[in-house]
Structure 1
Amino acid sequence: MANRIKLPAPGGVGRRGVVQAAALGVSLGASLAASQAVLGVRPARAALPAHPRFRLVFVNHVTTNPFFTATQYGIQDAAELVGADTQWTGSENSIAAEMISAINAAIAAKASAIAVSLVDPHAFNEPVARALAAGIPVFAYNADAPAGSGNKRLAYIGQDLFKAGQMMGQRILDLVPGGRVALLIATPGQLNIQPRIDGAQDVLRKSGRSYQIDIVATGATVNEELSKVKAYYLGHQDVKGLFSVDGGTTQCVAETMEQYGLAAKGVRGGGFDLLPRTLHLIDAGHLDFTIDQQPYLQGFYTVMEMYAYLVSGGLVGPAEINTGLKFVTKGTVAPYLATKTRYEGSSSAAQLIARSGAIQS
């Protein structure tokens, strides 16, 4: 157990004594932290206030999707730090009614806090309002209801999806000077991906260049997505670029590029997320980029914000948190392939990953 320094009660000693005692506490705390770092010991939670064991419920739209493996690891790691229990629930197939049932169950069980992936602009307004009325704070993660939707969630933690789409649009400008460009999306209208395609179109249309933009819906399963991507290419062989806004379709774009040798023909391609097949095909030169939307942080940061809000009685937060993005290219993909980690969802092992070389922005 971590050492504790008990300061005298106010009035028991002079100001100088209090300052000396506080300084001693800081010194011992620093020494303890240093020794823990040397020994590889996890820091104790002694600095955190005593609190009930919070129960944090995460309601997800695709509970078994491998993208969220890293998110669940982030949830687990943060919950261990702050002393909380978590539940992962929702729908396997993005069915709003199933997600609402999960929210209702969390309210009935008096969850400490709820996090919801708000993939529909209005479906979750009423259950979120009921949770808040019951005194349960609700946060959005991964997907957020648009401004003006009426949803009263306290904060959103996740990628700025429209901005991410704009950044992909800027990358498309660099890769494709003009002509036919396909923007591919698994499920149009779904709020975890639709803002990206909107952002990409915004940049392309404002560029002043001559683009013919085709919006292609690919479907919710990989087999369906692959057939739709191939069919699109075979029917539009004048296309200059294939760019996806979701992980499954991105993998299918890469596989189509590989099958038909499109990179060698000058066709450019890119998309989102870190499916292993996508990363290998970037390394092989078949896909120009994918975007890492930091799924681990979407879980970790949400738990930390829930905890801070709960333990402070609502005084700390809520705050919007943009988990950002990283472009992964042939020049930067090697670390993703070389190391299996829980931070990218490729391993369950908790480990310190040593970094070497220059830091790339």
Structure 2
Amino acid sequence: MHRPAPAQAVRRHFAERLAASGFQADAAQSFALGQLAEWLEELLGGRRSWLRRPVTGLYLWGGVGRGKSFVMDCFFQAAPLAAKRRVHFHAFLQELQVRLLDHTGQPDPLARVAGELAGEVRLLCFDEFHVHDIGDAILLGRLLEALLKAQVGVVITSNYAPAALCPNPLHHERFKPFIRVLERHLRVVELDGGVDYRSRGGRDWGQYHWPETPHSLQDWRRELGLAVPPEPLAVNRLSLAPLGQDARSLWLDFAALFPVPSSTRDYLWLCARFERIAISGLPCLDRHSLDVQQRFLNFVDIAYDAGIELLLSSETSLEKLCRERVHEDFARTRSRLAQLRPRVLADF
């Protein structure tokens, strides 16, 4: 049976997905998909271009909801090779830490982990790539440099151009060498069609309840049907006091999880353990420090990627959730929260 060329397979799958969804690709999406298809054919040896320098991957960036993840989905699913992985930022960082611990006491543990990954995959896709913590930035930068030198094909989607990664001015200079690595090894493609496709219906993954009042919380408790557990919930080094819990659902107060020094490791654990998570007491985020905002943003990213049902109860509307001191990543979170069904608790 004749198998289509890699580029042809990617384009065909893209067209089939579009037809099934009833959407039409814009020019930016079609161009990005075409760049991915051509590069994949180069990677797999089908053909090589002598008119431009060889690259080890692509870096797609653009505003929220522009279709980057959809393009990545189509490309990854159609790529005709078994040794491929698509990873989400926070889960991969956690995996990287675990792998590094396995090589404690050995020379250059990161190089050993990079060697392991290079032996496992030929194509590694990062979705929603962003770095704010300088420790994570340096770690990921060194790992990506090693993978690219090992000729692992890397595809990255991000809301940031490479030069804008790790935007904190206190750390940005230290990350610049790795930005240059990305720009040297990856073909940078801007995907910005000017339309937020998530706002056109998109995914329904929970509810956003507001305005929260003592009466509305009583109604919410009856609706959730969750009993208060007799013992605190142990999550890694945290001890949480749930407002309600059963085998598949958890209800927490915002103050119990985000103003405390919780971490992405904790959020990954919660989203692996529970299918439905409810958070009440969500305040206007600009009342809190950027660290607290970052924790909440990380939690939303992880919950979204994990596919859990998220229920949020807030004193304010989504439009007013973060009005003044807006975290630089809030646009992505705002787009994801906009896919929650709004519900006015006063209507109960």
When normalised by structure 1's length, the TM-score is 0.30
| Greater helix content | 2
When normalised by structure 2's length, the TM-score is 0.31
Q: Which one has more relative contact order, counting CA pairs under 8 Å at least 6 apart?
A: 2
Bigger CA radius of gyration: 1
